[in-house]
Amino acid sequence: MQEESDETIAILVQNDDSEAFGFLIERYEEKIKRYGRKFLNTKEDIEDIVQEVFIKAYTYIQSFDANQRFSPWIYRIAHNEFVNELRKKTRQPLGFFDPDTILPFVISSETTDGPIEQAELKKMMEEFLAELDEKYREPLVLFFYEELSYQDISEVLHIPVTTVGVRINRGKVKLKDLYTKKAV
C-alpha cells in the first residue's frame, strides 16, 4: 500500500476500504497541518480543522475523479475549511469577483528562481508571510512549501492559472519590499 499512488488508494476507499483511508491521512496530515499554520496560529484549532478536512474528504470521496490528481482535491477541501475558519475569526466578508481573476495576464514560466533565491524567498516568507494579504499568502505557501504546480494551485483556489502566476509574482515582490524596508 505504501507504494500505491494517492489516486489508487482513493479508488480503494471509494470501494469501501475505509482502512485504506488511513494511508491517505498519514500522507497528508502533516502537509495539511503545515498549510493550516499559515492561516491560523492556534494549534488546537488546526488539529480540529485538519480532522474536519479528513472527515469531509471521506464523506465526499465519491465525488473525487480518480483520473485527476488527489492532492489538489484534498487541498481544496483544506482551503475551504481554513478560509471558513479564518472568516469566522476575523469576520472578513466573502470575496466575490477579484479583479485579478477578470483579465487575462501573460506570465512567465513557473519559476526562474535558482535554488539560492528560492531559499532566500522561503526565509523571507517565514518572517513576513503573516503580513501579506491572504490572496498572495496562499499561492506562495502552496507553491513554495507544498510544491504544487500553478495548475494544481489553480485547482485548489479555483482561480485561473494566469492569476496564480500573477499572485505569486506580486507576492514575491511584496515580500522583497517588506524585507528591504526592514533592512533599511
Partner 1 sequence: MNNVKDSVLNKIKQGEVAMRPRWHFMLKGVLALSGICILTLWLIYLLSFVVFALVTSGVIMIPAFGFHGLVEFLSALPWVLIFIAAVFIILLEILVNRYSFGYRKPLLYTLFAIISFTIVGTFVVSKTGIHELAMQRSVESRLPVMGHFYKGYGLPPHERISVGEILLINKNGFVLNERVEGRLNVTINDYTKVPTGAAFGVGDQVVVFGLRQEDEIEAWGVKPFYGKMFRPSERTEKMRFQEESEL
What does the binding site for partner 1 look like in residue numbers (CB under 8 A)? 14, 16, 18-19, 21-22, 25-26, 29, 47, 50-51, 54-55, 58-63, 97, 101-105, 154-155, 158-163
Shortest CB 63 distance to partner 1, Å: 4
- Give min distance, CB of 59 to partner 1, in A: 6
Residue 27 has which C-alpha cell?
A: 500522507
Contacts of 177 (CB under 8 A, 6+ apart): none
Show Cβ contacts of residue 175 under 8 Å, excluding neighbours closer than 6 positions: 121, 124, 125, 128, 129, 132, 140
Give the nearest distance from C-beta 61 to partner 1 in angstroms.
6
Give the residue with the Cβ less far from partner 1, 66 or 178. Answer: 66
CA torsion sign for 6, 9, 14, 19 is negative
Which is nearest to 79 in space by CA: 10, 139, 7, 11?
A: 139
Smaller CB separation from partner 1, 5 or 18: 18
Q: For the CB of residue 49, give the shortest distance to partner 1 in the complex, in Å.
A: 10
